[in-house]
């Protein structure tokens, strides 16, 4: 056992590297890789099997010709010479097939340099039987001596070679959607052909065909049953209503039906491994319940308890693959129920399958799940081979140590938000965006973290969503290295809580937050802050002092309640949006508007500044950028009701001045002198705020000569006069024309 573990361990550590030191170590344990004149070593059979799989791991996906040629020959290795290679041949042939599949993993028809080997045709012959070909290679002389214990003749023993050849075809053409190869693996559609194939091999053929036609796997019961041949569907469903023909063997049909269904379910498990897909789970859970009910019905005597237990175990493993790492309660209940069964055909192998399902369900303590990469599928095929041992030392059909290779398919995908201030895990909303595929368009879903992420190659972007935490974007379309480094470090993603917000654990509905009362009540009393309330938002001494001296309502400030409310609202916005540096800007705009309302504004600089801010916030380009959800912008620094209120106050003050002092503007248009400094200052403010051009330009355009508003609008458009300003000036121009 130590040798087996050592060989598999070092091979997995050097996965796909073609490391020569490990190759030499493995070759010592494989007679087929040694020269014919080498000294014969007494290597235990199970160690040879582990070494053969090790070759597949070290040379995974390389398409190495020499190793592929040797492994192809080892699948059909005849018994002998003399008393050698007479026991546990099935596990060695299976290991050779798995290793060959891993060496040529996913290459399909692009096996460069192997055309003369006819790999698909040779594997097909191993699968269906036929005349044995002459053994090639450096060890051909050794196989000329017959076996003293087994006489097979010149025909291939498909009971030995079929499983390895079937899985080798599946792995070589994995996800290639090669229909010609997939048609080789279709279940027979006649009773005559069904009698020539073991029901267990129908499971392997169905699984292999579905893995090749990867894109055609769908998570529903109709697709699973579509793999069943028509002859089985017709006679299984109508056996109670109509008489069954004597030419049909119902035991063969029922067993074939159950194994094909189990193969289809296992294919769904591989296709949606680690995805927690609800449709796949519902489909597989339904078939698992059907097989459980079948154990207690009359069909159990026809199918056989052992066959039903095998199919049920495979479906249970399939649903555990889909829900890997999730700890799903329904799957756990199935595992617990089957764990308690100790009667009938329930043996060591079935308990092992149920415990493997339980291990997949809680993979890595809920931090890991399964991948669907080619390498992961190859590892799962080795680990979940659908033939279970009868006892703990049974390695005849499958080396039990290979069950541990499932760890090669595991990957960390648990994302755990951690508050950067408290360093404690927390809940956070995520927007997960999927890339566009042939099955669906670009889609964004909302998840509550901690959560298990989908496979990274399917994602485009992950975004920590507000309003409780500051937004954080991880763009995966440019590469997954950053996110992979986060997931490899226990999946910790640091997030920062916004000011005034509480974590979801303390405030699930958002009703206890310091911001919650202000959203529902806009009275002046609510908008005013106490210094201790401000301290929960910020520790800035300047802001706390501002709240203490300017935002506290008192008896002697009753006539200034509006001012206190406005200052409180300004402070509220700055601290909640975490923009304290904008507090002076707010106050400057408010002071400019108040001075304008009093008519004391002696210069137009502050008005120019406010006008620029208003023009920027009202620009179409900026508004479009703010509406565009694809642009990850924070928005405006002044994004509340403050600016519209200030604009309304300025408009109202200037309109009132124009109504009371229209003669000042008329005197300006007629080039008459103005002696009052106050009138000159307010006139300048009016001209600047409404973007009215110089008097020279207006005289050149002959605006006073217009007889109607459309003519005035046409001439003023050439000067760039805003329409709102023209509406205020039109009574003066048209009045001058009439007079």
Whether residue 97 is found in the same domain as residue 240 = no
Q: Report the 3 state secondary structure along 293-313.
A: HHCCCCHHHHHCHHHHHHHHH
Nearest by Cα to 602 from 676, 693, 691:
676
Strand ranges, E, within 14-169: none
Whether residue 65 is found in the same domain as residue 16 = yes
Whether residue 58 is found in the same domain as residue 103 = yes
Whether residue 344 is found in the same domain as residue 233 = yes
Structural domain contains residue 605: no
Last residue in a domain, options 495, 522, 545: 495
The number of domains in the chain is: 3
Angle, alpha carbons 98-104-109 (nearest 5°): 125
Whether residue 491 is found in the same domain as residue 457 = yes
Q: Which residues, including other chains, have CB under 8 Å from residue 190's CB and lie 6 or more apart?
A: 231
**Residue 106 belongs to domain spanning:** 1-172
Structural domain contains residue 656: no
pLDDT, residue 625, reads 63
Q: Give the helix/strand (H/E) hosting 378.
A: helix 374-383
Last residue in a domain, options 388, 405, 422: 405
User: Per residue in 452-492, pLDDT tens?
Assistant: 999 999 999 999 987 788 889 999 888 889 999 999 988 99
Enter the pTM of the model. Answer: 0.76
Whether residue 145 is found in the same domain as residue 265 = no
Report, as ranges of residue numbers, the positions in the chain whose pLDDT lies below 70.
80-85, 134-149, 151, 237-247, 298-299, 500, 510-539, 553-559, 620-640, 698-707, 715-716, 718-720, 732-739
Classify 584 in phi/psi space as left (phi over 0), alpha (psi -120 to 50) or beta.
Answer: alpha
Q: Are strands 492-495 and 451-452 parallel, antiparallel or unpaired?
A: unpaired
pLDDT, residue 378, reads 96
Structural domain contains residue 532: no
Q: Are 77 and 30 in contact (CB under 8 A)?
A: no
Cα 613 off chain centre by: 42
| Interatomic CA distance for residues 508 and 597, integer angstroms | 46
Structural domain contains residue 68: yes
Whether residue 238 is found in the same domain as residue 128 = no
| Interatomic CA distance for residues 737 and 739, integer angstroms | 5
Whether residue 423 is found in the same domain as residue 388 = no
Whether residue 36 is found in the same domain as residue 144 = yes
Whether residue 73 is found in the same domain as residue 130 = yes
pLDDT, residue 53, reads 97
Last residue in a domain, options 405, 439, 459: 405
Structural domain contains residue 570: no
In our burial notation (b when 16+ CB lie closer than 10 A, e otherwise), range 356-392 reads bbbbbbbbbeebbbbbbebbbbbbbbbbbbbbbbeee
Q: Give the helix/strand (H/E) hosting 473.
A: strand 472-475
CB-hemisphere CA count at 13 Å for 569? 21
Nearest by Cα to 375 from 410, 324, 412, 401:
410
Whether residue 465 is found in the same domain as residue 376 = no
Structural domain contains residue 721: no
User: Per residue in 640-652, pLDDT tens?
Assistant: 577 788 888 888 8
Q: Are 476 and 459 in contact (CB under 8 A)?
A: yes
Structural domain contains residue 556: no
Whether residue 242 is found in the same domain as residue 309 = yes
> Rounded to 5 degrees, what are φ and ψ at 499?
-65, 135
Using CA atoms in the order 627, 633, 638, 639, what is the torsion angle rounded to 10 degrees? Answer: 40
Structural domain contains residue 613: no
pLDDT, residue 738, reads 52
């Amino acid at each position: 056992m130590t040798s087996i573990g050592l060989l598999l361990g070092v091979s997995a550590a050097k996965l796909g590297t073609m490391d020569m030191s490990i190759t030499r170590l493995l070759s010592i344990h494989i007679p087929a890789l040694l020269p014919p004149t080498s000294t014969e070593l007494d290597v235990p059979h199970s160690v040879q099997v582990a070494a053969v799989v090790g070759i597949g791991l070290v040379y995974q996906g390389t398409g190495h010709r020499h190793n592929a040629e040797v492994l192809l020959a080892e699948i059909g290795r005849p018994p002998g010479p003399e008393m050698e290679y007479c026991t546990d041949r099935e596990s060695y042939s299976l290991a050779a097939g798995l290793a060959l599949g891993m060496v040529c993993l996913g290459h399909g028809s692009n096996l460069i340099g192997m055309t003369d080997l006819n790999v698909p045709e040779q594997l097909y012959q191993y699968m269906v039987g036929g005349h044995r070909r002459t053994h090639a290679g450096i060890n051909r002389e050794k196989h000329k001596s017959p076996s003293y214990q087994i006489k097979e003749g010149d025909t291939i023993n498909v009971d030995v070679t079929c499983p390895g050849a079937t899985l080798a075809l599946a792995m070589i053409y994995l996800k290639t959607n090669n229909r010609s190869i997939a048609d080789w693996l279709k279940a027979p559609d006649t009773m005559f052909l069904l009698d020539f194939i073991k029901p267990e091999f129908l499971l392997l053929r169905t699984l292999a065909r579905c893995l090749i036609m990867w894109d055609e796997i769908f998570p529903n019961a109709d697709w699973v049953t579509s793999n069943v041949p028509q002859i089985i569907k017709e006679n299984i469903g109508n056996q109670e209503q109509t008489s069954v023909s004597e030419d049909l063997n119902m035991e063969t049909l029922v067993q074939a039906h159950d194994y094909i269904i189990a193969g289809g379910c296992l294919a769904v498990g591989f296709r949606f491994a680690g995805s927690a897909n609800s449709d796949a789970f519902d489909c597989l859970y339904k078939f698992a319940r059907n097989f459980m009910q079948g154990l207690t019905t009359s069909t159990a005597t026809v199918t056989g308890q052992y066959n039903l237990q095998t199919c049920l175990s495979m479906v249970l493993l399939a649903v555990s693959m889909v829900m890997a790492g999730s700890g799903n309660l329904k799957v756990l209940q199935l595992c617990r129920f089957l764990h308690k069964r100790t009667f009938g055909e329930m043996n060591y192998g079935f308990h092992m399958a149920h415990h493997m399902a339980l291990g997949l369900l809680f993979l890595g303590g809920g931090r890991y799940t399964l991948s669907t990469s080619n390498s992961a599928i190859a590892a799962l095929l080795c680990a979940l081979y659908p033939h279970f041992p009868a006892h703990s030392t049974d390695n005849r059909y499958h080396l039990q140590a290979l069950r541990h290779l499932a760890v090669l398919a595991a990957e960390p995908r648990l994302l755990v938000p951690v508050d950067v201030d408290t360093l404690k895990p927390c809940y956070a909303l995520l927007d997960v965006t999927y890339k566009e595929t042939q099955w669906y368009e670009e889609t964004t879903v909302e998840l509550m973290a901690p959560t298990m992420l989908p496979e990274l190659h399917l994602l485009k972007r992950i975004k920590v969503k507000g309003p409780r935490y500051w937004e954080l974007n991880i763009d995966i379309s440019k590469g997954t290295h950053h996110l992979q480094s986060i997931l490899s470090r226990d999946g910790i993603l640091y997030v920062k809580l916004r000011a005034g917000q509480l974590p979801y654990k303390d405030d699930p509905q958002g009703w206890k937050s310091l911001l919650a009362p202000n959203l529902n009540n806009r009275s002046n009393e609510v908008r005013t802050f106490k210094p201790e309330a401000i301290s929960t938002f910020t520790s800035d001494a300047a802001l706390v002092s501002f709240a203490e001296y300017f935002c506290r309502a008192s008896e002697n400030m009753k006539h200034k309640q509006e001012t206190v409310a406005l200052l409180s609202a300004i402070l509220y916005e700055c601290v909640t949006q975490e923009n304290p540096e904008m507090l002076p800007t707010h106050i400057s705009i408010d002071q400019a508007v108040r001075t304008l309302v009093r008519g004391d504004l002696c210069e137009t600089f502050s008005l120019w500044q406010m006008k620029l801010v208003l023009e920027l916030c009202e620009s179409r380009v900026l508004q479009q950028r703010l509406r565009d959800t694809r642009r990850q912008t924070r928005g405006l620094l002044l994004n509340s009701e403050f600016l519209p209120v200030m604009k309304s106050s300025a408009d109202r003050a200037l309109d009132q001045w124009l109504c009371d002092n229209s003669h000042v503007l008329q005197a300006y248009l007629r080039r008459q002198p103005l002696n009052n400094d106050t009138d000159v200052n307010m006139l300048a403010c009016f001209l600047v705020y409404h973007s009215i051009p110089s008097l020279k330009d207006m005289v050149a355009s002959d605006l006073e000569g217009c007889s109607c508003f459309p003519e005035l609008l046409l001439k003023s458009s050439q000067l760039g006069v805003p329409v709102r300003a023209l509406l205020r000036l039109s009574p003066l121009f048209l009045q001058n024309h009439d007079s």
